[in-house]
Chain A
C-alpha cells in the first residue's frame, strides 16, 4: 500500500543535541513538507520541497535543516539552535503544490529532556 512513513514515533533529545526525523513516501509525490504542531495550535510550515534537490524555507525554519536527495525521502534535522523543539512534527506529501491535498505521515513526537 502506498503511504508516507515517519520514524521514530517518539523521540527524546538532550539539550544541545541534533536529531534527525525520517520521512519516506512511496506515493510518487513530487512535493513534500514538514510541519510543527504545538498543543492546541494549528500546523506551522518549517520547510517544503517541490522537486528533488530543491527546498524552500517555511514560516519557522530557524533551527531546522532538511535535504531532498531522493524523491521518496525528506529528512528533517532539529539542530541545537532550535531553542524550543518539543512538539509534534508532521511530514506530508502531495502530487504538486497547487490544487492537490496533502497526505500526512503519522507524526513524530519530540521531547527535550
Chain B
C-alpha cells in the first residue's frame, strides 16, 4: 500500500460544478499537509495548506481528518482554468520532516 493515495480520476465536470478530492495517508506521525496544482508539463504550484480546523481560499476549501487519516480539497463553482492535476503532500514529524511524500495526483477536467 502506498503511503499517500489519491484517486487518479480523471474527474470530468461541467463548469460551475462542485468537485471534491480525497487524499489518504498511512503514517499517523504526519504533521503538515498541502495541496498543489500542476499543469501539464509544468512544475507544481502551492495551492493551499491544510489545517485541522479547515481552511478556505475563495472557491477552494481544504480539510484534514486526522482520525481517519485523510485530507480533502473541495472546489466550488468550477472554472475551465481549474483543469489541472491536483497533488497532495504529507510531511512527517520530527527528524524525518524533510521526507515529504506526494500523492500521484488527481486529474480534473472542467468542460464548458
Contacts and interface: CB of A to CB of B under 8 A. Distances in A.
Co-complex (A, B) = yes
Interface of A: 31, 33, 35, 40-45, 48-50, 56, 58-59, 88, 90, 96-107
Contacts, number: 61
Interface residues of B, number: 25
B104 A97 contact: no
Interface stretch (B13-21, B37-45, B55-63): B37-45
A31 B98 contact: yes
Nearest to A100: B32
Given A42-B87, A43-B87, A102 B46 contact: yes
A59 B44 CA distance: 19
A45 B92 CA distance: 14
29 contacts: A33-B98, A33-B100, A35-B102, A40-B104, A42-B87, A42-B102, A42-B103, A42-B105, A43-B87, A43-B102, A44-B102, A45-B101, A48-B99, A49-B98, A50-B97, A58-B99, A97-B91, A97-B98, A98-B31, A98-B91, A98-B93, A98-B97, A99-B32, A100-B32, A102-B34, A103-B46, A105-B43, A106-B43, A107-B43
